[in-house]
A and B are shown apart, each in its own frame.
Chain A
Amino acid sequence: MGEFKVHRVRFFDYMPSAIRAMAFNSRTERLALARADGAVEIFNFADHYFQEKIIPGQDGRAAEALCWVGQRLFSAGLNGEITEYDLENLKPKYTVEAYGGPIWAMSSNGEGTLLAVGCEDGTVKMFEILSERIQFQRNLDRQKGRIISLSWHPSGKLIAAGMMDMIRIFDAETGHSTYRLLVDRGFGPSRCKEVVVWSIAFLSDHTIISGDSAGKVQIWDGLTGTLVRTHPVTKWDVMALSVSPDESSVLAGTSEGTVIQFQFITATMDQQDKEWVRTRTFKNHSHDVRALVHTETAVVSGGMDTQLVVRPLLDKVEKNTHESALHKIAFPHRNLVCCAKKAGLLLFQFSDHLELWRIGESDGHGKPGDSLPVKRKPEKLIQLKRKGEHHICSSALSPCGGWLAYSTLSVVRLYRLQYNDNDISITKVSKLPKELRSVHQLCFSSDSSKLFASSSHSSVIVVALNQLECKYLHTLRPKSGSVQPVHLLCASEDGKWLATASTDCEVHVYNLCKQKLHCTVPVYSSCPTAIGIHPTTSNLVVAYADHQIFEYSLIQREYTDWSRKLQKQGLHRLWLERDTPVTHITFSSKNPAHIFMHDTFMFCIIDQSLPLPEARTMLYNQMTLRSLPEHERLRQSHAFKICKTFKHLMCVRLLEDHSVVVVERPLLDIMSQLPAPVRQKKFAT
């Protein structure tokens, strides 16, 4: 696959934020996920768990509860506000103050007409969901103590509320409390501590299931208000509960990082009376499981250890398919690293600041696999703190390294960088055109003369840059009238083309000379995860979330022969079973037949001149090829040259001098920065 000098970068201290809440929309198969920094992410479960959208967070606005009502997404948090999100423009639409102190829980009724929130002051507040807004309707009877969890009965007539030391059942119509179920406290020293009912579920047969801070999962009869069973599950807290859509299974997430399944099964064959039995235990987390979703086929869990885990229930899915594999999503499906190819600079994007680094240098030579001595150490040039309370949603560094831009929900900032030997100066470009305001993606042209910014309704704003000045040129719009945001931008090397990909799977190519839409790539069913335009042949290469790769000729406006051949033969099974999507595509200036792409666990050079791998050939054959003699090696090699030496890749880029920059973020480093997990006794320790 050729020899490269590799800059192995491990100084990107990216730290994902803990998962706080999740909500699953089974109709659209979208999972909404709220993180502790206030960001909300949307995953498309129908499309290989691709992270479609990210709504950046805001200081002091962490969501404690998420709720889908139809296609609309609501969140509520400890700041006491209810927020509805604009999923097309990736920002909060509006917020409504609930006036009840911090909000701990939110739940909508089955019809989607009412939203109930549980507040710190002990009230359950009902909000009516109107087509554009929500409106406060009334309070249920106010209780002493906070409302921690809420669950509607599927009929919409009753609400169960988990509180301190008790569970209350409210009649949703009259607003009166009908039952008060007292929850036992823990044993020993925790006896004098109040028990918190962290989570509650109200089933259609009037069974109430609660999980509390004493480590119990309790099953109550909601008709009589009596305790049916207690399952002591952990010594710590049961943080989350989730019921399967058919109400035959319940999951409980604990502070030990385990998820415990309870199933509603008959004790004996051919009898009708069923009972809840504790069955399986899943352990995929090292820390608290804070959020849980039980889909029809899988257990989706997330918590303090920041990973989203999709654990399929093997009795519900076909064996040995993509669905039956365990998925752990630890990194975002987009680039947080920007690389100035010509200057050898790296820009790291954090939620509250940017870091600009110059990569190290080495003049040594060595055998493949050797580590070379470092002549100049990597150096942090700039740490740029963002202004305002909104988090950074995108950033860009021009290829020459002279320009730096970032955007938040409200503003775009552009900086001019100048280097004098070891000195660096940064100047903010003050006057920006007013069109640059709410921007999702930023991208510089290869000659650093233009800045492209994706804006609402899939439009792209083009801004011309020259010394200390910046001028709005025009706005490029697709003809399809798509309203979904653009999540990928790619400008060609020659400055002629600009390709955009939006979350509704459309890929548009604009001719920058003519300043209009050149063509639209035929829409594929999966979402594009990476795009790249070949510098010499002007072919557009698109990688999709289902791991398909297409090559589209911009000149002929059709798929290339290679792409057709690839589709005809089909990709290798192991390639299609890969866990993470391809997040970046680039090309080699030396060898035009080479396409570079990478996902989290490998990087790959596709050599278009070599035959495609057959279904039976070994896909990951680089190690075996090395041991073969020359002529045999030629016969065995195929187009996909995959390197798995580097793991947890955040970015792989090709520099001007044909060396490779690899930015790794080992999961162990992330784990070591997490707070200590709860103490557990391990055997033989």
Chain B
Amino acid sequence: MVEHGDIRVVHRGGSKINFREPVITNDSKFLLCASGECVKVFSTSTEECLHDLRGHTDLVTGVIIKPSNHLQAYSCSADGTVRLWDFTDGILIKTYVIGHPIYSIHASASHEGVVFVVTSMHADKRPDLLQLVAVHLPRSGDQMVEARELSAVLSDVSSNPLAIAFGRGGEFIASAKGLQLEVYIFRKQKAYRFFLKEDNKKGGRNTFTCVACHPKDDCIATGHEDGKIRLWRNFNQKKEYTYSTLHWHHSAVSSLCFTPEGTNLLSGGIESVLVQWRYNQEDQREFLPRLGAAITHIAVSPDGSLFFTSHSDNKITIIQSCLKVSAAIQGLVKGENVTTDLMMDPRSKSLVLNGKPGHLQFYSLQRDKLLYNLDVVQQEYIHESGLQQFEVVKAAFDASGTWLATVEERKQKGAEVELNLKLWEFDEQTQSFVLNTTISAPHEAQITDMCFCHSTDNQTTMLVSTSKDGHFKAWQLDAQAHTEADERPSWSCDFVGAYHSLVPECCCFSADGSLLAVSFQEVVTVWSTASWELLTTLSQPPKAIRNLCFGRLSCSKYLLGTTGNNLLCCWNLLTCSLEWSTSMDVSLLLADPISENMAAFCRQAGSTDLFVFKPSEPRPLFSQKAVCPGKVTRAIFAPREEMLESCEESSQWLNRSQLYFLTQHMDLMTFTTKVEEDRLMASSKQLVIDDSVAMTPFYLLLGKHRQQDSRDAQSISAERTPLPQGSVAIKELLQTPAHVLPSTSFLCSMFVQSLLISVTDPREEDKATEEEMESEKEEEDSEEEMESGTTRPEQAPLGRQAAESAAPALTKAQVRELRRVKKLDRSWFAGLLDS
């Protein structure tokens, strides 16, 4: 990544969490997910992201718990390093440099000090040939260690980590690739290979897709392309091996997993049904259907009480072992492509794009969390590949966020395109969008562009759609049809426009809504929205217009367009002439809705450059070469909640809004300034991580004693180093986006300390204990009194708030019970723990 001044391109939210199998810690409290360039640690009880393990400089390709220490985890990355983390505190312990890009990592308890990684050793000769290599991790105190002691175990393995599995107690390792299963038995130092026939006779495709090994028996389960599961036994013989076949899935089995005791086998695939097979009684199987999207990975917690399934829609579902879904961790849903543009919902300030099939998703960038899905298509989605089903292809919001227009489309071979234009109205009562009008077949061909009139005077709301059938249509909320009492106003077509039977491509309203610009191939037509008069035409032949954009605010007299022959043109609408033009291959042009700034992504030699400029000024405000490889087709300016006070000229354009864009590989990236990063770093450095136990009722019980103890200790230390002003901490707490904040438990103590007067009075301390004893005598004590007895009065409201926010699932009865037990003195218990 190219560093440019103080502005950097970073992953910030919305990255994949289903890329690799989730890893569950031994106590089933945390979930570790490889996510972009970091490892995310989720709490399994609250589904919140606790923190990120940052340090890798390329895609993280695997995470495992260190077999000899269950509080540490290895992660591997395409940057050629294996890193050891203390994942509870988020501390990088060690970095082992391997030197070759790593595709997956495996380890077993019986191989002390060795991890197995899949890497391509001979990158120069055959880059596609991957090897499974045993890496002896050198014992050294250094932070950065070079691991050069590599020994190849298996050659030619699959890059899919699911196709490699350790067998019973690490005695053997099984690897599948293509039509071959290879079992390497460590004690015998011998590999056995088993081949399947390429059987296309009955549509059977025998290719291996995944492997799992039974934890107690010598049994390997393999999943296949045609949905079969084979259970291999007796594989320590060349010939007398045997297998049995299970068949339920109709498409490829994507993941297999045995439960820790080996009593059940879990399998999943595109059907999005989790199948549980009873081991040795395979005809007894149980199903958990309707999981929403194709299952990509399955993991089981070490105690077997929870199952975790990753899904293709960037979701991790937490399932209890009785096959009941208990929770879901949802990331930004990114299908194979984003068909709608990236949009901002003006009300919730969330990012909107198409997510699950047939849905629009509302994703909060600030909290890095999916808010909700809007079912646009309202039809059952069939989980089968190769079916043509309705998809949301276009969506647009009006300026106030009260109206949402969506276009859904179904293409079928040999049939006409089916189109539906739907208009949704925001309902204040239910706080969601309600379908107002459905216009089936609004155009005869695909809709190319759609936009609302962004006028400030809200008399008429207007929508314009352009289509390949050569027309653009203006739709308006029909006030006349408002005659019947119970009928709400609905949308109808107001105007149909065309220009020389050319195909319209883009449309754009001017900032005040008085002008509409529609591009017809190489011609830009400007229409008056009041009278539907063609005012003028602008053109810059010979190539067609690609993007069209009106300037904002002070630059609203400018209309910008890009053409196919690498030209960026700026027309002045007052003079109806070309103001300036420059030659660049712009793939995407977009305007910041709250400033005059415009951003242009240009393709340059395989990568994309970014220019930020004002239409009125000749010099760009900011430019960065090689922002990312490949083409950028989707981007959005997201307004900031809090203005940034940056004084540097080149980063001032980021003060009011943030620019997000989607790369070729569907990664959501953004730009950060140095100021912003410094602030983040500062806040995370201040938080000395002492205790990251999740907020549980038990923690509340025990915590009060712990807190007191630690406060005693801290109050002593506070005398030595006086804390900085409390207001800073409060500011950090309130200003930092939620997704970068550490868990509330340590924020709390920091916050409280900032409020404390650093002078401690021993008398006051005594008084407090007295109060506590008093409160114990009185059974029906009020809440305030009790808490003032247990904790310092300043902390009380916040402590309660923290407890409540962390454990929202508590019912009233539980809270009452908690209060009761809180009154009991458990100091003996804390003492027991301390001793």
Contacts and interface: CB of A to CB of B under 8 A. Distances in A.
B375 to A, nearest CB: 28
A231 B245 CA distance: 15
B418 interface: no
Nearest to B236: A269
A266 B236 CA distance: 11
A269 B185 contact: yes
A188 to B, nearest CB: 15
Contacts of A268: 168, 216-218
Interface size of B as a range? 20 to 34
A263 B243 CA distance: 10
Contacts of A683: 250
Given A268-B217, A269-B171, A269-B185, A232 B233 contact: no
Interface residues of A, number: 17
Contact of A277 (B171, B216, B280): B280
Given A232-B281, A269-B171, A277 B233 contact: yes
Nearest to B218: A268
Q: Which of B243, B244, B281 has the most CB of A within 10 A?
A: B244
A267 B282 CA distance: 16
Contacts of B185: 269
A265 B233 CA distance: 8
Contacts of B124: none
Nearest to A260: B244
Nearest to B242: A279
Interface in A207-249: 231-232
Contacts of B218: 266-269
B451 to A, nearest CB: 45
Q: What is the interface of chain A mostly: helix, strand, loop, or mixed?
A: strand
B372 interface: no
Contact of A281 (B216, B245, B281): B245
Interface string B262-295: 0000000000000000001111100000000000
A315 interface: yes
Contacts of B829: none
B239 interface: yes
Interface in B22-75: none
Q: Which of B219, B239, B242, B282 has the most CB of A within 10 A?
A: B242
B486 interface: no
Interface in B150-171: 168, 171
A279 B233 contact: yes
Interface string A275-286: 001111100000
A231 B234 CA distance: 20
Contact of B239 (A232, A267, A280, A315): A315
Nearest to A248: B240
B217 A267 contact: yes
B381 interface: no
A279 B244 contact: yes
B220 to A, nearest CB: 12
Nearest to B262: A267
Nearest to B237: A315
A119 to B, nearest CB: 35
A187 to B, nearest CB: 12
A315 B242 contact: yes
B580 interface: no
A231 B282 CA distance: 9
A232 B244 contact: no
Interface in B162-217: 168, 171, 185, 216-217
Interface string B72-94: 00000000000000000000000
A319 to B, nearest CB: 10
Contacts of B280: 277-278
Contacts of A232: 281, 283-284
Interface string B220-260: 00000000000001101001111111000010000000000
Contacts of A280: 242-245
Interface string A458-473: 0000000000000000
Nearest to A314: B239
A279 B240 CA distance: 12
B27 to A, nearest CB: 29
Contacts of A315: 239-242
Given A279-B242, A280-B243, A315-B242, A263 B234 contact: yes
B257 to A, nearest CB: 19
Contacts of A281: 244-245
Nearest to A249: B242
B567 to A, nearest CB: 55
Interface in A49-90: none
A231 B278 CA distance: 12
A266 B242 CA distance: 12
Contacts of B219: 267
A432 to B, nearest CB: 55
A280 B231 CA distance: 10
B349 to A, nearest CB: 47
Given A268-B216, A269-B171, A683-B250, A263 B242 contact: yes
Contacts of A278: 244, 280, 282
Nearest to A278: B244
Interface string A245-272: 0000000000000000101011111000
Interface string A292-306: 000000000000000
Q: Which of A263, A279, A684 has the most CB of B within 10 A?
A: A279
B283 A265 contact: no
A279 B217 CA distance: 15
A278 B284 CA distance: 14
Contacts of B244: 277-281
B250 A265 contact: no
A265 B242 contact: yes
Nearest to A232: B283
Contacts of A279: 233, 242-244
B414 to A, nearest CB: 23
A175 B282 CA distance: 40
A277 B233 CA distance: 9
Nearest to A234: B283
A438 B240 CA distance: 50
A266 B218 CA distance: 8
A213 B227 CA distance: 30
B391 to A, nearest CB: 25
Contacts of A266: 218, 234
A278 B282 CA distance: 10
Nearest to B247: A683
A244 to B, nearest CB: 12
A231 B244 CA distance: 14
Contacts of B240: 315
Contacts of A261: 242
Interface string A649-685: 0000000000000000000000000000000000110
B705 to A, nearest CB: 48
A315 B219 CA distance: 18
Q: Which of A265, A278, A281 has the most CB of B within 10 A?
A: A265
Contacts of A265: 233-234, 242
B279 to A, nearest CB: 10
B228 to A, nearest CB: 11
A40 B58 CA distance: 75
Nearest to B282: A278
Contacts of B216: 267-268
B179 to A, nearest CB: 16
Contacts of A231: 281
Interface in B111-134: none
A217 to B, nearest CB: 12
B253 to A, nearest CB: 15
5 contacts: A232-B284, A269-B171, A278-B244, A280-B243, A683-B250
User: Which A-B residue pairs are the 4 nearest by beta carbons?
Assistant: A267-B217, A279-B242, A279-B244, A268-B218
Given A267-B217, A268-B217, A269-B218, 16 more contacts: A231-B281, A232-B283, A263-B242, A265-B242, A267-B219, A269-B185, A269-B236, A277-B233, A277-B244, A278-B244, A278-B280, A279-B233, A279-B242, A280-B242, A315-B239, A683-B250
